[in-house]
Amino acid sequence: MQNINYINSPLEQFEINTFLSLHTPFINMTGFNITTFSLYTIIVLLIISSFYLLTNNNNKIVGSRWLLSQEVIYDTIMNMVKSQIKGKDWGYYFPFIYTLFMFIFVSNLLSMIPYSYALTAQFVFVISLSMIIWLGITILSLYRHGVVFFSLFVPAGTALPLVPLLTIIELLSYVARSISLGLRLSANIFSGHLLMAILAGLTMTFIQINVFTLLLGFIPLAIILIIMCLEFGIAIIQAYVFSILASSYLKDGLYLH
């Protein structure tokens, strides 16, 4: 009997597959193809929209039972943004940070479903997102402060001979934010999913040897379940970390400290 494996390699769950290709002899339509990435992006947006529709309770004054969960998330992110950005400007940027958190939060939880697809494990997408955020903050800072923005790269109280060296170090550190913000998220999600996929494959191979290994297989299976619970926690924490770092970078750009 032929042994059918749905996933031949642990890396297959991160591959982008094309479900619907659009071809025309006149225009290159490959950018409009329906792929795994675009499909799950739409699913994430539908899930977020469904949460708000359930909370709305058909436009009644009293919200539905989902309202409490949304209020907890809303208040948590609002307090975080307020404590990070401070001042009078935090309210302008709260919708942006809240949208970021909800998208990453739902994407991470959706990726925990077996045989699902991890949007935030796509390095190109997440790093591109972090670079756009970094570039937007930089443009905002230049528009707000002008030439004074470059004082961010000169620490206060620095001795004059050390200014060139520290300026280069601070500049490199600032530019590295554009990659580190997204790389941290993708690396954690990717490594966690890869670890679970490898352990699950090894456990499946182990329990298929004989009856004795089948009984012993419950031990690594319990370990996998524990790791999966930890991954759920990491999925939530990483969404929060991404949001709090974006808020911190916004604060540096707004107040230059």
pLDDT tens digits, one per residue of 3-49:
444 455 556 666 777 776 666 666 666 666 777 888 888 899 999 88
Q: Is 177 inside any structural domain? A: yes
Is 1 part of any domain? no
Which is more confidently placed, 103 or 63? Answer: 103
Whole-number pLDDT of residue 57: 66
CA distances 228 to 189, 197, 199, 203, Å, are 12, 11, 11, 14
Residue 2 has what pLDDT?
A: 42
Share of the chain above pLDDT 70, in %: 84
% of the chain exceeding 90 in pLDDT: 18
Best CA proximity match to 126, nearest among 107, 98, 99: 107
In a domain, 3, yes or no: no
| Residue 195 within any structural domain of the chain | yes
Residues 234-249: tens digit of each pLDDT: 888 999 999 999 999 9
55-59, 121-125, 151-155: range with lowest mean pLDDT? 55-59
> What is the reported pLDDT for 22?
67
pTM: 0.82
Q: Give the pLDDT band (50/70/90) at residue 1.
A: very low
pLDDT given at position 14: 66
Q: Is residue 2 domain-resident?
A: no
Domain around 106: 10-255
Query: Is the separation of the CB atoms in 98 and 74 below 8 Å?
Result: yes
The pLDDT score that the predictor gives to residue 94 is 92
Within the chain, how many helices (H) and strands (E) appear? Answer: 7, 2
Higher-confidence residue of 25 and 76: namely 76
- CB neighbours (10 Å) of residue 115? 8
Top pLDDT among 116 and 159 is at: 116
How many domains, in total, are found in the chain? 1
pLDDT over 90 (residue 217): no
For residue 128, is it within any domain? yes
Work out the number of other CB atoms within 10 angstroms of the CB of residue 212.
9
> Does residue 4 lie in a domain region?
no
Does residue 28 lie within any of the structural domains?
A: yes
